[in-house]
Structure 1
Amino acid sequence: MEKLKQALGFGGILSQDDIDYIVSHFKVVNVKASAHFHLIDVVANEIAFVCKGIFRVYALDPEGTDVTKYFVRENQFMVDLESYYAATPSKDAFQAVVGSEIGIIHKAALNKLTEEIPNMYIFLKSITEAHLLNKIKDNDFLNFGDAKTKYLEFTRRYATLAQQVPQQYIASYLKITPQSLSRIRNELTKQKC
C-alpha cells in the first residue's frame, strides 16, 4: 500500500499519522482480468485506489453495446462520482483490463474518517478536482483529427496502455471500429519498415 500512502501525501494536506490511519481502513483486493470493481445500475458506495493494473470505465449505448469512456491507471482513484455523491444507480461500469490490485474503502468508513480528520475533507476536495481535470485532459484529443491522428496521440500519451489494453477497448475509446484500428496499426507498422 506504499503507492496509496504516496497518493494520500498529495498536496501535503494530511500528516503522516493521518495517512497511516487512513490506509489502515483500506482493504486490498486482487481483481482478475475482465472482472468488475463496479457494475452499471448499482449505487457506488466504495472508492478504490489502483495499486497495480488498469481498469476501463464503460457505459452502454442505446443499442446495448458497451463503449469505453476512459481508463483508470496505477496510482489513480476510481469511483463513479455522480452515483457516489447522489446515491443513484451508476451509468458506468469499472472493469479490470489486466489482473489488478486495488485498495478499497467503503463510504461509511470514509465518512467516519472525514469526521475524525479535519483535513480529510480538504484532501477529498482536492483529489476530486484533480480527478475531474485529468478526465478532461485525458479526453481532449478525442474531438480533433481523424482516426489515425487520435490513435497516434493515444499511443504518445499512453504508451503503456497502448501495449496492455486489448485492441477492441482502444478502438471503443477512440470511437472507431476495431477493423479501422487494425488497418491503422498495420499501416504504421509498414511505415516503420
Structure 2
Amino acid sequence: MEKLKSALEFGGILSKQDIDYVASHYKNRSLKAGEHFQEFHKIANEIAFVESGILRVYAVDDNGNDVTKYFIRKNQFFVDLESYYTAKPATDSFQAIVNSVLYTIHKSAIEKLSDEIPNLYIFIKSVTEAALLNKIKDNDFLNFGDAKTKYLEFVKRYPTLAQQVPQHYIASYLKITPQSLSRIRKELVEKSHGNGRSKP
C-alpha cells in the first residue's frame, strides 16, 4: 500500500489526506504466473497498480498468433484505456508473467471519488499522459536496427525483464522468432565466455 500511496503523490496534485482516502478504495489482488487480469472481449472497468510482479499486454494477429505488445512493471498504473472509456470489449489481454500483486479500483469508485475530489480527474489525466509517453519511449527502439541490436537495447533498458520474462514473450515483443533470439543469446554467451566476462 505504501508504494501505491507513493505513486499517488505523482505531480503533487493530491493532498496527503486525499491520497489516504483514495488509496483506501483500492483492493488488493494477487495473480499467479499465467493468470489474467483482463481477458479478450471483456469490458475494462478497473484501473490497477502493480505492487510487485510483471504483466504483459498481448493481442492475437490475423493468423491467430499471440503477439506481446508491451510489459507492465512494478510501480506502474495500467488500464485498457480504449475499452475503459468507450465501454467496448477489449481487443488486448493482460496476463501476469510472474506471480504479481496488484491494487485495483473499480470505475464506479473512481467516478464517485472524482465527484468528491476534483483534483483526482487531473491526477488521472496526468498519469494517463505519462503512461502513454512511457509506452512510446519503451517501444521506440523496436523499429530500429537488426534483431541483435534490439535485444541488446532491451537488456540494457530492462535488465529485470530480460532475466524474468520467458524467452518466447521477449521474442514476440521484439518481433523476432524464438529461434533467432536463442541464436543471439547463444552467440552473446559464447562471446562473453571468450572475453572472460559473465553471461548477459
Matches within 5 A, 1:1-193: 1-193=1-193
SS of the residue aligned with 1:148? helix
Gaps of 5+ in 1: none
SS of the residue aligned with 1:119? helix
**Residue deviations 1:13-60 (CA, integer Å, cap 9, x gap):** 000110000011000011000000001111100111000000000000
- In structure 1, distance between residues paired with 2:59 and 2:98: 19
Letter in 1 for 2:172: S
Letter in 2 for 1:189: V
SS of the residue aligned with 1:89? coil
- In structure 2, distance between residues paired with 1:64 and 1:50: 29
Q: Which runs of 4+ in 1 moved over 4 A?
A: none
Letter in 2 for 1:131: A
- In structure 2, distance between residues paired with 1:95 and 1:137: 22
- In structure 2, distance between residues paired with 1:102 and 1:67: 23
Q: TM-score, normalised by structure 1?
A: 0.99
- In structure 2, distance between residues paired with 1:160 and 1:15: 33
**Residue deviations 1:82-133 (CA, integer Å, cap 9, x gap):** 0000111101000000000000100000011111001101100100000000
Q: Shift in Å at residue 141 of structure 1?
A: 0.1
* Aligned-residue identity in percent: 69
Letter in 2 for 1:85: Y
Gaps of 5+ in 2: 194-200
Q: Shift in Å at residue 64 of structure 1?
A: 1.3
- In structure 2, distance between residues paired with 1:124 and 1:80: 14
- In structure 2, distance between residues paired with 1:101 and 1:66: 24
- In structure 1, distance between residues paired with 2:121 and 2:78: 17
Letter in 2 for 1:168: H
Corresponding residue pairs, total: 193
- In structure 2, distance between residues paired with 1:179 and 1:15: 51
- In structure 2, distance between residues paired with 1:63 and 1:159: 31
- In structure 2, distance between residues paired with 1:142 and 1:5: 33
SS of the residue aligned with 1:6? helix
Q: Shift in Å at residue 63 of structure 1?
A: 1.3
Letter in 1 for 2:84: Y
